[in-house]
Structure 1
Amino acid sequence: MKKHQLSLIVLAGGLGSRFGGNKQIAEIPGQNCTIMELSIIDAHAAGVTQVVLIINQAVRSEIERTILPRLPSDLDLVLVEQNIEQVPEQFKATLCHRVKPWGTGHALLCAKAHINNPAIVITADDYYGASSFLLLSEHFKKSAEWAMVGYPIVDTLSEHGGVNRGVCNIANGKLVAVTEYLNIQQQSEHIFGDNPQGLREKVSPNALGSMSFWGITPCLFDYLEQGFTAFLAQYNTATQQEYFLPNQIEQVIKTNAQTVFIYTARESWYGVTYKAELVNIAAHLRALRQV
């Protein structure tokens, strides 16, 4: 396996049920490319030389036919399929009850065999901005610790209703915990959300949200393997439970096994949940990238 200074892992294996199709390969109107391609181009400009795409089998041929030929020719590109059969042998009997993928923690674990250096981890349907890739590229030039880029909550709200966000608890420039708030909305002059106890409370407009933009090193895969085994032992009959990456990173932080430095994003984040949102995002991206 070739050694790279910095890799990019794109989590693109979700089924996109609310989108109504495979949103990872949905082109941005008027731009002849996907959000994922913009992220890969930005990562490449920041020094990434390897890209590992975690995909579902249904989109492989389309990605190979249309997306890969449009990417920089000097990138080392790897396609890895995430499927529900990728579990330890002792849990194979549970597969007959499972339909959907196991979640982002499992998706990242699928990249283990291809990563032996620092890597940036993103999701395929989120636009993060070119400067975020530069932040983590510079981070790994001076540190071997994990890192993340957080986005001001006020910049991640929606005009169409409440959103769910992981709000970061930060101390001395490092991530302490991520607290999930539901139905976050601007109400008059303040932002409110439902805390984990179900109580409505103010959320600081300066708070940073975790939008799945992580800088990791290969040791994370060992933690993910251990955590996935424990997850399956606990939930092997719960067919809708998912193994989430942020939960596992937070668990590692709590045991003081790793430090996660946090950087504040310099650009806005844009995400796609519904097909209709692509049109609005296209207008924003044209203005940002002047294309």
Structure 2
Amino acid sequence: MGKPTLVVLAAGMASRYGSLKQVDGFGPHGESIIDYSIYDAIRAGFGKVVFIIREEFEQVMREKFDAKLAGKIEVAYAFQDFDLRKFGVDRDIERTKPWGTAHAVMSAMKEVDGPFCVINADDFYGADAFQKMGEFLTSEVDDNHMSLMGFELGNTMSDYGYVSRGVCEVNEQGHMNSVTERVNIYYDKNDNGDKKIVFEENGVKHELPADTRVSMNFWGFTPKVFEVCMNLFPTFVEENADNPKSEFFIPTIPDYMVKHGLADFKVIPTSSKWFGVTYVEDKPIVQESISKLVADGVYPEKLF
């Protein structure tokens, strides 16, 4: 089996963060979070990185990554756009944003021909997570056995607003029974300063324990996933054509595959601590966390 591919979801408009956070600097020499993910992926044996971007970001991304990654890992780009016909939808639908993360993954079909890992551009996952995913994708994965990294919800929150997480139900064998995307998870604080984690659905608050296993869009797939996406996406579009906020999320696909007996998904435990930048107020926290990792020798001061 050849080297796995890293697929980076970098097409987001960063509406809450306020800038193109995919290339914002967090490390001591202006390294982006993507830089650290790619560095960890190279160490874990990945052979190719595919950036899924909006076409208008291409020049910025190439200037940021092409030269410094030359000779270290193969680099490719795929565009997430509004052309639905290439995915089996025979009409145009007016929208101001693309169709979500699973739609983004479909955009990489022509650049992926073997086992691959999908991550978010703005999430810091850590070396241990990449090492374990790399091992899984080179020695264990097949079309009936895929994976995800499971993080504890309490270790993935922002103090500055809501987050979206794939909430997992895990069985005794360590496999995923289901995953449900929750888009309004936040700390609900009372007058005494106590706080609990909740999500809202149809105006109703539901509490989630801090140790709930969640997906941070760190998935281990084979190209079989593209086939499932292509089968489900046209129906999703037709059912949501009049809803401009509807999104075809990645967790929809593994959840469908598990429930229809198409594959199981191993929940891989990791000692890595996740952190990310949903809001601009998160930036100094991420910078401080990376500085500590550099000081502790986990990463060199200059990556590339």
Q: TM-score, normalised by structure 2?
A: 0.86
Compute the displacement of 1:195 (Å): 6.3
Which residue of 1 is the match for residue 126 of structure 2? Answer: 129
- Give the counterpart of 1:37 among 35, 38, 53: 35
Q: Which amino acid aligns with 1:264?
A: P
The answer to whether the Cα contact below 8 Å between 2:225 and 2:253 also exists between their aligned partners in 1 is no
Q: Within 2, Cα distance between the matches of 1:26 and 1:173?
A: 36
Q: Distance in 2 between matches of 1:287 and 1:90?
A: 48
Output aligned runs, 1:39-188, within 5 Å. Answer: 39-71=37-69, 73-88=71-86, 91=89, 93-95=91-93, 97-140=94-137, 141-144=139-142, 145-171=145-171, 172-181=173-182, 182-185=184-187
Select between 262-271 and 172-181 the one with higher mean Cα deviation: 172-181
Structure 2: gaps spanning 5 or more residues: 296-300
Q: Which residue identity lines up with residue 165 of structure 2 in the other structure?
A: R
The residue aligned with 1:233 is 238
Aligned pairs, number: 288
- 1:93 is paired with a residue whose SS is coil
Give the AA of the match of 1:256: G
Asked if the contact 1:18/1:274 (under 8 Å) is kept, the reply is yes
Q: Kindly indicate whether the alpha-carbon contact (under 8 Å) linking 1:165 and 1:184 is maintained by their aligned counterparts in 2.
A: no
3-state SS, counterpart of residue 276 of structure 1: helix
How big is the shift at 1:180?
Answer: 4.3
239-248 vs 207-216, which moves further: 239-248
Equivalent pair of 2:69/2:75 in contact (CA under 8 Å): no
Which of the numbers 243, 261, 275 marks the counterpart of 1:256? 261
Q: Compared with structure 1, are the counterparts of its residues 170 and 65 closer, same or farther at alpha carbon in structure 2 (3 Å cutoff)? A: same
> Using the alignment, how far apart are the partners of 1:148 and 1:289 within structure 2?
27
Q: CA deviation at 1:189?
A: 7.6
User: 1:158 is matched by which residue type in structure 2?
Assistant: S
Partner of 1:12: 10
In 2, the alpha carbon distance for the partners of 1:65 and 1:198 equals: 44
List per-residue Cα deviations over 1:154-185 (Å, max 9, x = no partner): 21123335544332100011011123454343
* Deviation of the 1:190 alpha carbon: 7.4
Q: Distance in 1 between matches of 2:277 and 2:197?
A: 22
Q: Equivalents in 2 of 1:254, 1:196: separation in Å?
A: 23
Amino acid at match of 2:156: T
Closer, same or farther: CA 239–180 of 1 in aligned 2, 3 Å: closer
Q: Percent identity?
A: 27
Distance across 1 between alignment mates of 2:3 and 2:27: 34
* TM-score, normalised relative to structure 1: 0.90
What is the distance in 1 between the residues matched to 2:104 and 2:65? 20
1:173 partner amino acid? G
Contact 1:149 1:262 in 2 (8 A): yes
Q: State how 1:263-278 maps to structure 2 within 5 Å.
A: 263-278=268-283
Q: Check if 1:211 corresponds to 2:216.
A: yes
**Cα deviation code 1:19-55 (max 9, x no counterpart):** 2222112122643221111101101110000111111
Question: More displaced, 29-38 or 125-134?
Answer: 29-38
Q: Distance in 2 between matches of 1:46 and 1:211?
A: 19
CA distance in structure 1 between the aligned counterparts of 2:270 and 2:17, rounded to whole angstroms: 26
CA distance 1:91–1:237, shift in 2 (3 Å): farther
* 2:197/2:210 contact within 8 Å kept: no
Q: Secondary structure at the match of 2:247?
A: coil
Counterpart-to-counterpart distance in 2, 1:190 and 1:87: 46
User: How far apart in 2 are the matches of 1:70 and 1:210?
Assistant: 30
Does the 8 A contact of 1:169 with 1:175 survive in 2?
yes
For residues 45-68 of structure 1, the C-alpha deviation after alignment (integer angstroms, 9 at most, x for no partner) is 100001111111222111111222
State whether residues 181 and 251 of structure 2, in contact with CA within 8 Å, keep that contact through their aligned partners in structure 1: no
2: CA distance, partners of 1:85 / 1:201: 37
Return the offset for 1:222.
0.1
Go from structure 1 to structure 2 and tell me whether the alpha carbon gap of 1:43 and 1:161 turns closer, same or farther (over 3 Å shift). same
Q: Distance in 1 between matches of 2:59 and 2:276?
A: 24
The CA distance in 1 between the partners of 2:185 and 2:110, in whole Å, is 38
**CA-atom RMSD in angstroms:** 2.3
